[in-house]
Amino acid sequence: MARDGQVPREPWIASAAGFETNARGRGYSAPAGVDEAGRGPLAGPVVAAAVILPPGYSHPGIRDSKKLSHRQRERLFPVITADAVAFGIALATPEEIDALNILRASLLAMRRAVEALLLPADFLFIDGNRRVPCDVPQETLVGGDGRCVSIAAASILAKVSRDRMMAEYDLLYPGYGLSGHKGYPTREHLEAIRRLGPSPIHRRTFRGVVV
């Protein structure tokens, strides 16, 4: 068994650049993978990332961020940002989540991540089954973070960025345990909300927040 931080090569990794290679074969020069993190928590923003990788790029450790440990994700973050042709990270705030709903806010964050790319993407691979509201040609991929290397890379950047934000929020709003559960509805978190009331970064439209 591999030690923490050393991820074994999986069969899909070897051909993971297939989606991007296919897009380039159709004439697109800058295909980007797009994913988000933080749809389920009761607190904090939803964070999205967009990543354009070099042609034919693969890495034995890059896969769905949910299948990696915290340490593995942290180690991969600088690798991805260094190797990427371009990357963008953006968010939608708790206020926007409450105003728009979590799905629309997630798509907004993804659009902003695409817009943050220093090299504009000319094709998008989106994790899930909903298109991002922008004019860039795109393809949705259910389970894309386990099938497409650029989406997997985006999932890691989004997850690490959001986790770091939640650790900072824990210092601003102590008592909720935000650095541990990252805003998810754990028993500890729900009890803290009942005891302290919601903080400024809690999503007021989510069940369990307003008591």
1-56 confidence digits (pLDDT tens): 333 344 333 433 434 469 999 999 999 999 999 999 999 999 999 999 999 999 99
How many other CB atoms are there within 10 angstroms of residue 13's CB atom? 18
Give the tokens for residue 63.
Answer: 């896969």
User: What b/e string do you get for 16-33 counting C-beta neighbours within 10 Å, with b at 16 or more?
Assistant: bbebbeebbeeebebbbb
Q: Domains for the chain: give ranges and CATH numbers.
A: 11-161 (3.30.420.10)
pLDDT at 70: 95
pLDDT at 8: 37
Which amino acid, residue 17? A
Give the tokens for residue 72.
Answer: 């593995």
Q: Are 177 and 189 in contact (CB under 8 A)?
A: yes
Query: Which residue is listed with tokens 């803290």?
Result: 192
pLDDT at 4: 39
Phi/psi at 140 (5° precision): -90, 140
How many other CB atoms are there within 10 angstroms of residue 7's CB atom? 20
E-only strand ranges, the chain: 31-37, 46-52, 86-92, 123-127, 138-141
Ranges of residues in the chain with a pLDDT under 70 are 1-17, 211
